[in-house]
Structure 1
Amino acid sequence: MSKDFSTMEDSNRSANRSIHEVSEPSRRVVLRGGLGALLGGTLAPLGLAGCATLGASSGGPLLGFKSVPVSTADTITVPPGYVAQVIAAWGEPVGIEGRMPAFKFDGSNTFAEQEAQLGMHHDGIHFYAQDGAKRGLLVMNHEYVDDGLLHTKGTGVWTANKVKKSQAAHGVSVIEVELKDGRWQQVLPSKFARRITATTPMTLAGPAAGHALTKTAADPSGTKVLGTFNNCGSGMTPWGTYLTCEENFINYFNGPASPDAHGKRWGLKKVDDTLYRWHEFDERFDAVKNPNEPNRHGWVVEIDPAKPGSTPVKRTALGRAAHEGATVAVTKDQRAVVYMGEDARFEYIYKFVSRDAIKAGGAAANATLLDHGTLYVARFDAEGKGTWLPLVHGQGPLTAANGFADQGEVLIKSRQASDALRATKMDRPEWTAVDPKTRKVYCTLTNNSNRGRDKQPATDAANPRANNTMGNIIEWLDDGDYSGTTFTWKHFVLAGDPALERADARGNIKGDAFSCPDGLWVDGRGVMWIQTDMSTSAMGKGDLVNMGNNQMLAADPASGEIRRFLTGPRGCEITGATMTPDSTTMFINVQHPGESPSERSDPDAPGKISNWPDHKQGGRPRSATVVIRKLDGGVIGS
């Protein structure tokens, strides 16, 4: 995933309004000590007085820990009374019987060994309990790779084997973990251990399966796809499966110098030697020769972690996008609703509502549940109101005359369909989270510094953040149920630093300063966990000068208070959050420690920025899962 502000995708040139153009000017107020002029309605921090939380109802505050300070150290910092333990680092064996190669710190592991090891750049993660809070499966994404660290000599002398190793370091890992003698550890070997990579066979299902736009010479059926990659956020279904999301997939494809309108709308371009170069040894990734191959990616993929031999399924009914995550809620009549953000400048927020109710019987009974239903895109209107617009063929502008021959084409071209419906252009919508107690839904809008450029919407009287370097979190409540087609919305918080001179970068945080919110999760007590992803090209500079390393914070949605809970090592992103059922163990991921501003490390100096977590002489930084527990065995965050 390219996070450099100068290279991040920005391909939406529709005339649709942005989120900053729908606020009401008459509701402007002055906030003391915050932004000089902000909107008191949709841009005010939430104050949900009277909304009970589990912490409040028990007579104590929801947040019971002491904040940690901003840090630039090459380590993990957690509050007093907590301990952080590193497990499951890149290159460790996942636990496949008879295939447990050790990690080699010089980068000399082969692609065959990498296929049996944890991948690179850990991201979304979920815990599937097997024995309550003592044993379970961790399923995690591996978003992308740093070829400077992955190979002994980096990208020098590019070979087919390096492409295969890069492909093997992408995807998903399933590992088994247990709490033993007071520490968490991997179970090796494990019958559940599995790697899913960029070459794993999987199936296309739903309305776009078998479509003319998904057929290739290698797969005339249009239903059999190899691999998943750039897996960012994730979701966990009530029936026990894992949803992994294909985000910036287009960066892996070499396109023509002048792509057609469809390719251009998805950011397809001719690649240079700073990207993945897979097409040089795998023609599947040459979209000039295989123009339909990109259409087979950009989906939400469903995996059954309890069945290591099962085939992953790409659920096309959920739409094609640069998916950041997929958060599942359940309606009162037991239908599944999946909320999804698309992490690119000026892209959209989606939700899918299943046609059928969730059945008893787990994954097998719900094997096709996500193949039938309605996909919607959000339009955020003025006065804090909004509408979910259905992406249904034949309705409104989604007709053959406008370039949508059928429902499959609507889903493959979900961006163009959303453009036609005049959905609201957002500032990089990323992770979504649902609070089951209040039924409120949240989405992180990480940043967007391209407003006003190249015909994009600029600021006006109702839009105080033209250069949105800090990001924000938006909140909405669907009318009636999660399946409602209208909603009310507000901005939960505008991230920022009150010490800055630039007014529209100060934010309105009640508590500890942060910027660039990305990962987001609401736990069983109602605590909102916020994780940041400041680009290494911008970290410590400009508006981010005081922010230190990336971090994780906890928020009380009722009071709006936000406290810093964790800081990560240098050059990393903090991402992914999950807990054991009793909330006494939290698992998070530390992605790309030591990342350079170019996002590719110098193979001759791999530990130049960070040597976390091993701090081994001659070693290299490794993404890893971190286990967090209270010393007294209590509930995390309390």
Structure 2
Amino acid sequence: MWKAKTVTETKKRYLPMLGHVAGKRSAVTCALKCDNACAKGVCNTSENNYFRDIVSAEYSRRRMMGLGGAGALALMFGGGAAAAEAQVGLAPAAKAGHIAGNRSKLKFDGIKAVPNNVDDVVVPKGYNWDPVIRWGDPLFHDTPEFDPENQTKESQSGQFGYNNDYLDIIEIPGSKGKRAVLFANHEYTNEGIMFPPDMPVERQREVAMAAHGLSVVELERKGKGQPWRYVRGAQLNRRFLMHTEYELTGPAAGSDLLKTQADPTGRIVLGTLNNCAGGTTPWGTVLSGEENFNQYFKVAAPTAEQRRYGLTSANPSRGWHIPEPRFDTDRPEGKNEDNRFGWIVEVDPFDPTSTPRKHTALGRFKHEGANVTIAASGHVVSYSGDDERFDYLYKFVSKGKYREGDKKHNMTLLAEGDLFVASFKGNSPQNQIDGSGVLPTDGAFDGTGHWIQLTRDGESLVPGMGIDQVLVYTRLAADAMGATKMDRPEDVEINPATGKIYMACTNNTSRTRTQVDEPNPRANNRHGHIVEMTETGEQTSTEFTWSVILVAGDPAVDESVYFSGYPAEQVQPISCPDNLAFDSAGNLWVSTDGQPGTIQRNDALFRVTLEGKERGKVEQFMAVPIDAETCGPLIHDDDGLVFVAVQHPGEDGSWGAQRSLFPDYVQEGRRAKRGDAALPRPAVIQMFKGMNGHVKR
């Protein structure tokens, strides 16, 4: 394990991303989080057409074979006028007509953009913030207190993990708002700032492994509207580690593609890797998406399938294959092990003895997350983005139907069902989509779309691929069926007030002018955009309409920005939309990942009005500290609370030259009492009305 002593050494170590990131965006983050994905070749080298290309006869023939004539025609021509004019299926609240403009219960004056050299959490005037839980906080009575100079595998296994990403807080029934359970996942580690340089390499690896995974933590408070505190030693507290058993479910479970030397059944996986966003089900379980799992595996000569998932012949920097041969795919112990990651994980946070599951029916790719809704028919519908340049948006529809109050039955719904991938078609002449971001003459980037079916009733609909191949190599199946290449589709959320779907496309600087299309209208897309989708009929429909509601950037310097017609000079600059959330009035909240490089501002959380005269208005609610990312936004406006998971603060520092002291800032000339270490600690924070600034302890 390489050990950095200075910031300069750290930057040299992660040289592959220097020159590929703009401004002061941390190259260290790019190396540790996604293995320098943007500095490498595009994984999707399929012949999928961009909309400006002519569909070849052979390509059309293959799509006809896979979908049937009517399905292929609908795919190629966007479903026609019938799809565009069909009645929109809206949630009851929207049909009742009470959603009109921004009626958020959270009142605030938007803050100004915060420069990317500020090490502070900035909140609106009249608001306060405080940590709920931090990396290293002990979850159990017998867990040692956090001691960064003497961390061990055993201590970290009982402490809150590193780099929290997805977040939810679910009230415990019957507690009258005084008790809740917090779920968070832990995406990756930064050993260069976590450990002193003289800590043995082997020990660093052990602690880093234990800092990955998931955490479930009980919370308590005095009453509604009050801030939360975590409860050490609570009954529901749990850590999910790299040797926790996960059960594989669905049609691919037991496949030869998932069998290993240690698990000849192909049904039990140890651990979960690189978890990003997630979702919470109507029956009270939590979903988490395994994302950039490829970077943990050693492979000498990647197969075509492995290359499509980003595995390369470069030795993984964390070196986990040294203590655990299963991460070396060239050894007998590692055969097929990489196929056992890249899934949606389901966890029951209310049962500390339960076995978490990986659902193969939802497909294997770099899941940003998964969000579930119940269609009018009772079927469960889940949406998930594949966070890679030129990859796809997916939808899953369950075979069974939801039963109110029957948790045991409902926990089977993600094991069986049909998987779809999205095809988008614009409605403007292609010569008006020139890559500049200038709107076409109809005044909007919009059109129709079709859900291409990949599986049906446990069978493959992809010519030449069996059901297990479609689910294990889902990217290749979607390539073969002609899905639309998107600009890093990340979080996908359903608006509870309207039933519309929102997808954050974070960015894609690799898209050229010859590759632009109406759903991805900007070449060299550094700032990203957000797509609004409306299913035709209910959520199980195979047709939808769509429009780009936000083309991100800084209006002061970028003419290509678009905010649904709202005056650009009246919005806050925003770049790289990542995670999405909603408040009770149906307003969209957007967290960012990349602003320090693209617009030289700290990453932040924004509110976007979706209805009425102020549709498209962007207001900044808060900003996270230097080098940090805003993850897991959670809006509990009924309580007057907003939560975010602050990930990788001070990322670009080193043990001897830390760039952040979040969240235990020096106060009144002394270190804060909670936490003696002068180093940053990723943490879940809560924001609420009160004295302005950080709570003093």
TM-score by length of 2: 0.78
Gaps of 5+ in 1: 23-41, 43-47, 633-638
Corresponding position of 1:478? 535
Corresponding position of 1:191? 235
Match of 2:411 among 367, 370, 380: 367
Instruction: Encode CA deviations 1:382-436: one digit per residue, 9 max, x unaligned.
Output: 220100011127989713xx3x1x2121110100000000000010000011112
Match of 2:319 among 277, 280, 304: 277
Once residues 105 and 100 of structure 2 are traced to their aligned partners in structure 1, the CA distance between those partners, rounded to angstroms, is 6
Once residues 594 and 217 of structure 2 are traced to their aligned partners in structure 1, the CA distance between those partners, rounded to angstroms, is 29
- Do structure 1's residue 611 and structure 2's residue 661 form an aligned pair? yes
- Do structure 1's residue 87 and structure 2's residue 132 form an aligned pair? yes
Shift of 1:291: 2.9
Secondary structure, in 3 states, of the residue corresponding to 2:221? strand
Shift of 1:132: 4.2
What does residue range 280-319 of structure 1 map to in structure 2 within 5 Å?
Answer: 280-289=322-331, 290-319=334-363
- Do structure 1's residue 144 and structure 2's residue 188 form an aligned pair? yes
- Do structure 1's residue 544 and structure 2's residue 603 form an aligned pair? no
Once residues 458 and 604 of structure 1 are traced to their aligned partners in structure 2, the CA distance between those partners, rounded to angstroms, is 45
Aligned residues: 579
Check the 8 A contact 1:347/1:425 in 2, yes or no: yes
Corresponding position of 1:423? 483
Once residues 160 and 52 of structure 2 are traced to their aligned partners in structure 1, the CA distance between those partners, rounded to angstroms, is 41
Shift of 1:285: 0.6
**Cα gap change, 1:245/1:459 in structure 2, threshold over 3 Å: closer, same or farther?**
closer
Amino acid aligned to 1:622: R
Corresponding position of 1:587? 643
Corresponding position of 1:387? 450
Check the 8 A contact 1:339/1:352 in 2, yes or no: yes
- Do structure 1's residue 169 and structure 2's residue 192 form an aligned pair? no
Match of 2:265 among 216, 221, 224: 221
Instruction: Encode CA deviations 1:139-185: one digit per residue, 9 max, x unaligned.
Output: 0111111111232228x7521x3222111101111001111384421
Once residues 20 and 88 of structure 1 are traced to their aligned partners in structure 2, the CA distance between those partners, rounded to angstroms, is 49
**Cα gap change, 1:336/1:21 in structure 2, threshold over 3 Å: closer, same or farther?**
farther
Corresponding position of 2:432? none
Corresponding position of 2:628? 572
Match of 1:71 among 104, 114, 117: 114
Check the 8 A contact 1:21/1:462 in 2, yes or no: no
Secondary structure, in 3 states, of the residue corresponding to 2:307? helix
**Cα gap change, 1:62/1:495 in structure 2, threshold over 3 Å: closer, same or farther?**
farther
Runs of 4+ in 1 over 6 A off after TM superposition: 19-22, 50-53, 393-397, 460-463, 505-508
Check the 8 A contact 2:129/2:685 in 1, yes or no: yes
Check the 8 A contact 1:304/1:363 in 2, yes or no: no
Corresponding position of 1:627? 686
Check the 8 A contact 1:342/1:349 in 2, yes or no: yes
Check the 8 A contact 2:218/2:237 in 1, yes or no: yes
What does residue range 112-511 of structure 1 map to in structure 2 within 5 Å?
Answer: 112-130=154-172, 131-153=175-197, 157-159=200-202, 161-180=203-222, 182-256=226-300, 258-272=301-315, 275-289=317-331, 290-383=334-427, 384-392=447-455, 398-399=462-463, 402=464, 404=465, 406-452=466-512, 458-459=515-516, 464-500=521-557, 503-504=559-560, 509=568, 511=571
**Cα gap change, 1:8/1:581 in structure 2, threshold over 3 Å: closer, same or farther?**
farther
**Cα gap change, 1:20/1:321 in structure 2, threshold over 3 Å: closer, same or farther?**
farther
**Cα gap change, 1:70/1:581 in structure 2, threshold over 3 Å: closer, same or farther?**
closer
Once residues 177 and 619 of structure 2 are traced to their aligned partners in structure 1, the CA distance between those partners, rounded to angstroms, is 26
Instruction: Encode CA deviations 1:353-375: one digit per residue, 9 max, x unaligned.
Output: 11111123343222321111101
Q: 194-203 or 222-231, which moves further after superposition?
A: 194-203
Amino acid aligned to 2:491: W
TM-score by length of 1: 0.85
More helix by share: 2
Shift of 1:590: 0.5
Shift of 1:561: 1.2
Secondary structure, in 3 states, of the residue corresponding to 1:381? strand
Amino acid aligned to 1:516: C
Secondary structure, in 3 states, of the residue corresponding to 2:207? helix
Once residues 580 and 362 of structure 1 are traced to their aligned partners in structure 2, the CA distance between those partners, rounded to angstroms, is 26
Secondary structure, in 3 states, of the residue corresponding to 1:338? strand
Once residues 128 and 9 of structure 1 are traced to their aligned partners in structure 2, the CA distance between those partners, rounded to angstroms, is 41
Secondary structure, in 3 states, of the residue corresponding to 1:166? helix
Q: What is the root-mean-square deviation in Å for CA atoms of aligned residues?
A: 2.8
Once residues 338 and 249 of structure 2 are traced to their aligned partners in structure 1, the CA distance between those partners, rounded to angstroms, is 16
Shift of 1:74: 1.1
Secondary structure, in 3 states, of the residue corresponding to 1:213? helix
Amino acid aligned to 1:71: V
Amino acid aligned to 1:610: S
Secondary structure, in 3 states, of the residue corresponding to 2:632? strand
Q: 460-469 or 119-128, which moves further after superposition?
A: 460-469
Instruction: Encode CA deviations 1:261-302: one digit per residue, 9 max, x unaligned.
Output: 1111111112336x2211111111111122311111100011
